[in-house]
Structure 1
Amino acid sequence: MVEKALKVEMFGGFEVMYGEEPVVTKENRNSKVLMLFQYLLCNRNRMVAQDELIHVLLNDEECENPVGTLKNLVYRLRKQLEACGVERECIGYRRGAYGFTGEMPLVIDQEVFASITAQIAEGKLADDAVFEKCLQAIELYKTGFLPKTMGEPWAMGFAVKMQEKYCDCFRTAYRIAARTKQYDKLVDKLCEAVSVYPYEEDLTLMYIKCLYEMNRVKEAMEVYEATTTRLFDDLGIGPSENMKEMFGHISGSKKEVNLSIDDVRSEIRETEYENGAFYCNLEVFESLYRFVVRHMERSGQSVFLMLCTITDLNGAKPGNNEKTKKIIDDMQQAIKASLRRGDAYTRYSPTQYLVMLMEIKQENCNIVADRLRYHFYKTSKRNNEMRFVCKSISAADMDSIMVGEEAQKALWNKEKKD
């Protein structure tokens, strides 16, 4: 007769089965009893002192009889296990410590995950075996270690270690995929990983690279755009240099050769007519601006840059919260609605947009600014709690300043040499 075992899932939620009988389901709410169960499982190879358990479970809460409270929690856990046919003696007590006895067979996904990652780290397997092991570990991990218990310091310590091993599996698998062109086996798993850890840059970069190598360039660009927007909105920072370099790589070339100029034109044109100014990310805007400045030398057209900034009524940067995000969205809509199709704009910082106004005079910049503010304040009453500040400068003036500074520096260097 095959002996039953406790089958424990800690990734993606907490679930325990004894044969076909559910002991704990993922729908169960967190409780001190469940936390005791989880902690003993995570430390099942040792007896845990009752002082340690009291510190973990009660977390310095005021309690007249902490030892009695712990005994009560152990009693309730044993009763819960016993109700499902598990021997209550599976949780033993010895010399002021509690722990699982060796007689109870346990299968824990965390231990399986740790075993697989240890085999990968040994470096004794061939690449194809390592790749499969990485995929197995990634599949086990799901959405993270004990997600409902992440607020507890002890669980966070375990979770951080598991997450690092999870990311290492992706790094190892990607290196093999890049050599063997098995991007298709990794791309969907990276998509899931990025949704779980949207700020883990390595995962995002690997995901974008996989999409690009599979000739899904448009999707790669969309992931980049979504990532930079999230960084601005949630963390108040722009993309890293690695991210910018990746964007330059994927936007600077196509994966396929196209010999038909008609097909190329059809591919790069706008798919549908859209009113309002043209939005692009900062990297594209910089290239667009540099081209326009060059074109100005021959055309003589007037181009102005306008920096639009949101501050609170005291002139300070607003807090990074949901309310501010909605106000920034209103700011973008006001810019898009107020400008012409021939103008361009970009997100310059978490609370700023940069606009390029084509064929316009200095006096008309104030009219544009008034129109922007009108649309912004008209959108929502909450916007009246903010200041919408617009500052403009001629692209020609700014460029001549830059050129002048460079010329002065070159002259100073020449005189120094002479």
Structure 2
Amino acid sequence: MMEKTLKIEMFGGFQVTYGDEPVITKESRNSKVLMLFQYLLCNRNRMVPQDELIHVLLSDEECESPVGTLKNLVYRLRKLLQSCGVERECIGYQRGAYGFTGDMPLVIDQEVFAGIVGEIAEGGMDAGDTFEKCLQAVEIYQTGFLPKAMGEPWVMGFAVHLQEQYCDCFRKAYRIAAQTGKYDRLAPKLGEAVAIYPYEEDLTLMYIKCLYEMNRVKEALEAYEAATARLFDDLGIGPSENMKEMFGHISGSRKEANLSIDEVRSEIRETEYENGAFYCNLEVFESLYRFVVRHMERSGQSVFLMLCTITDLSGTKPASGEKTKKIMEDVQKSIKASLRRGDAYTRYSPSQFLVMLMEIKQENCNIVADRLRYNFYKASKRNNEMRFVCKSISAADMDNIMDGDESDRRW
């Protein structure tokens, strides 16, 4: 009769099965008993002193008898495992220390992951095998190490180390993909990784580059837009120089030539009619503005830049977070709804939008600003807690700043 295997998953959630019998499911509520089991598993190569376990498990609690409480947790863990047929002796005790000592067949996904990472680090495999090993490792990782227990310091220590190994697998795989063209195998995994760690710039850059190399330029640009929006809204920062440089590369070239002017026109036109001003990212806006200024030299048309800034009532820049994100969404909706199709705007900073007003007179800039503020304050009651400041300047005369008589007025 084949001996049952104890299978333990620590990535994407904590789950334990013994043969076909579930012992602990990912839906199980995190508890001190489970944390004890997790800690013993992560330190399976040694007996853990009871003082260490008391510090890890009970430091946030006031216990009259910490040793007694620990013994009770060990007892409950043994009973849990025993109820599913796992031998009681798998949690051993020796000279004031506990350890997971079971000798039954055992598979722990964290150890499998570590083994694959070790094989990759040793080298000796050809590029194809290394690539496959990297994909195998990131597949095991799922959504990270013990996500329900990430608030525990000891879990964080393990998680940071494993996350770096996870990212390093992608770096190695990307270098191989760049040589072999296996971008189609890597891109889906990178997309999942960016969803887990949206602020890990290396992962985002590799993902966008993969899409670009696969000639999925539109998706690459959309991924860039999503990444910069997250940085503005969640962290209050703009894209790095590396991100901007990559955007310039993917937006300034095409992977394939197209000799049909009709097809080119069809590809670059707007796919559907949209009312309101035209939104573009800052890099595109800068190029568009420079072109318009050149065109003004011949056409003589009037163009103004308007900087729309959000502050609290004391004039302080709002802190990044969900509330500010919602407020800036209202600003964007107000700009789009209030301006003409021939106007353009962009996100200039976490708390600012920059607008280019075409064919407008100086005295009408205040009218536009009033309309923007009206629509902004109308959108939500929470917006009444903020100041919406609009300042305009002529593109033809960058030395004369026009604040307007009531540019700082709250409605």
TM-score by length of 2: 0.96
What residue in structure 2 maps to residue 361 of structure 1? 361
Alignment pair present for 1:58 and 2:88: no
Q: Does the residue aligned with 1:23 lie in a helix, a strand or coil?
A: strand
* CA deviation after TM superposition for structure 1 residue 319, in Å: 2.4
Name the amino acid aligned to 1:202: D
Deviations along 1:24-58, whole A, 9 cap, x unmatched?
Answer: 11111100000000000000110000000000001
Partners of 2:145 and 2:304 lie apart in 1 by 52
Quote the residue 2:376 is aligned against.
376
Task: Give the corresponding residue for 2:95.
Answer: 95
Q: For the residues of structure 2 that align with 1:273 and 1:132, how far apart are their CA atoms?
A: 45
Name the residue aligned to 2:304.
304
2:308 counterpart SS class: strand
TM-score (norm 1): 0.94
Superposed structure 1 runs of 4+ greater than 4 Å apart: none
2 CA distance for matches of 1:394 and 1:313? 28
- Paired position in structure 2 for 1:73: 73
Q: Secondary structure at the match of 2:319?
A: coil
AA in 1 matched with 2:174: Y
Return the alpha-carbon distance in structure 1 between the equivalents of residues 34 and 165 of structure 2.
25
Matches within 5 A, 1:299-338: 299-338=299-338
What is the percent sequence identity of the aligned residues?
Answer: 83
Question: Which residue does the alignment assign to 1:169?
Answer: 169
Q: How does 1:125-274 map to 2 (within 5 A)?
A: 125-274=125-274
Query: How many residues were matched structurally?
Result: 401
Q: What code does the residue aligned with 2:57 have? A: L
Aligned-partner residue type, residue 388 of structure 2: F
- Residue in 2 that maps onto 1:410: none
Counterpart code for 1:3: E
Shift of 1:286: 0.4
Residue identity in the other structure for 1:226:
A
Describe the superposition over 1:82-134 as per-residue Cα deviations: whole angstroms up to 9, x where unpaired: 10111111111011000022534321110010010011011211111101110
For the residues of structure 2 that align with 1:18 and 1:373, how far apart are their CA atoms?
63
Q: Does 1:41 align with 2:41?
A: yes
Shift of 1:17: 1.1
CA distance in 2, matches of 1:275, 1:60: 57
Match of 1:407 in 2: none
Q: Is the contact between residue 393 and residue 400 of structure 2 (CA under 8 Å) also seen in structure 1? A: no
TM-superposed CA distance for 1:249, in Å, is: 0.7
The answer to whether the 8 Å contact 2:91/2:102 transfers is no
Q: Compute the displacement of 1:363 (Å).
A: 1.1
Which shows bigger deviation, 345-354 or 360-369?
A: 360-369
3-state SS, counterpart of residue 7 of structure 1: strand
CA contact (8 A) 2:234 2:322 kept: no
Which consecutive residues of structure 2, in runs of 5 or more, have no partner in the other structure?
A: 402-411
SS across alignment from 1:76: helix
**Separation in 2, partners of 1:291, 1:47:** 70
- The answer (yes or no) to whether the contact 2:276–2:336 under 8 Å persists in 1 is yes
1:399: Cα distance to partner?
7.7
How far off is 1:364 after superposition?
1.1
Q: C-alpha distance in 2, partners of 1:107/1:270? A: 54
- Tell me, which stretches of 5 or more residues in structure 1 are unaligned? 402-418
Letter in 2 for 1:14: F
CA gap 1:21/1:274 in 2 versus in 1, 3 angstroms: same
Question: Retained in 1: the 8 A contact 2:50–2:97?
Answer: yes
Could you tell me how far apart the structure 2 residues matched to 1:129 and 1:321 are? 43
RMSD: 1.3
How far apart are the structure 1 equivalents of 2:160 and 2:394?
50
How far is 1:400 from its partner?
10
Partner Cα separation in structure 1 for residue 231 and residue 282 of structure 2 = 13
Which sits farther off after the overlay, 354-363 or 313-322? 313-322
Amino acid in structure 2 at the alignment position of 1:111: E
The structure where helix makes up a greater share of residues is: 1
Residues 190-210 of structure 1: per-residue CA shift (max 9 Å, x gap): 111111111111111111011
What is the Cα deviation at residue 2 of structure 1? 3.0
Residue 398 (structure 1) shift: 1.6
1:149-178 CA distances to partner (integer Å, 9 max, x unpaired)?
A: 111000011111111101011000010011
Q: Secondary structure at the match of 1:69?
A: helix
CA distance in structure 1 between the partners assigned to 2:164 and 2:319 by the alignment: 31
Quick one: which amino acid aligns to residue 173 of structure 1?
A
Q: Are residue 114 (structure 1) and residue 114 (structure 2) matched?
A: yes
Q: Deviations over 1:293-347 (max 9, x none)?
A: 1111111211111000011111111222222211111111111111111111000
Whether contact under 8 Å (2:89, 2:102) holds in the other structure is: no
- Determine helix, strand or coil for the equivalent of 2:11: coil
Q: CA deviation at 1:3?
A: 2.6
Task: Give the Cα–Cα distance (whole angstroms) in 1 for the partners of residues 94 and 3 of structure 2.
Answer: 25
Aligned partner of 1:32 in structure 2 is: 32
Equivalent AA in structure 2 for residue 182 of structure 1 = K
Could you tell me how far apart the structure 2 residues matched to 1:198 and 1:241 are?
17
Q: What amino acid does structure 1 have at the position aligned with 2:245? A: E
